[in-house]
Structure 1
Amino acid sequence: MGIIAWILIGLLAGLIAKAIMPGKDPGGIIITTLIGIAGGLLGGWLGKVIFGVDSIDGFFDLSTWIAAIIGSVILLALYRVTIGRGRSH
């Protein structure tokens, strides 16, 4: 997939992750996109390592979207924990 496809998947996966995990985040659309793109890569890597499958097959494959959303949720949770610690001090 091309970079534009990854950005689009990242944007949408990041938005879906924020919808799944509502709450205030100190990031705007750029942070959402970056978390989504990184989440897609993380989800694909985890799918390959844990299940031995190539989960990032193509733009319209359900496995691509599921991996991106799961990875984005994981990264969003880590982002909140990290930022939450920084704010409390």
Structure 2
Amino acid sequence: MFLTILGWIVFGLIAGFLARAIVPGKDDIGLLMTIVVGVAGSVVGGFVVGLLTVGLRGFQPAGWIGSVVGAVIVLVVYNKLTGRKRRVRS
């Protein structure tokens, strides 16, 4: 049980970090929120992949690519809802 939770935390951290690297600009979120974005992105990615492949299968985790895509979606929505995204000036 502990290893499963630890796996989700590490998986969420990596997916959230990759999403933060993909979405342009500076994200003002910490380590915990990065993990939450990654884990939520895995669920969203599983839902989107399920819709695109075999129809609605319910909420389930996705693989790495689906998780990162889902985390990007979650991060963009989070930034829009909270207005926390800072624009990078050139």
TM-score scaled by length of structure 2: 0.75
Unaligned runs of 5+ in 1: 57-62
Q: RMSD over aligned Cα, in angstroms?
A: 2.4
Q: 1:1-89 maps to which residues of 2 (within 5 A)? A: 2-52=4-54, 56=61, 64-84=63-83
Aligned positions, number? 79
Which amino acid in 2 is paired with 1:26?
D
Deviations 1:16-54 (A, max 9, x none): 001111322221011111000000111012111221288
Kindly, what percent of the aligned residue pairs are identical?
38
d(CA) in 1 for partners of 2:22, 2:39: 17
CA distance in 2, matches of 1:3, 1:39: 16
- SS of the equivalent of 1:2 reads helix
**Residue type of the alignment partner of 2:31:** I
**1:50-76 Cα shifts (integer Å, max 9, x gaps):** 2128885xxxxxx71001100000000
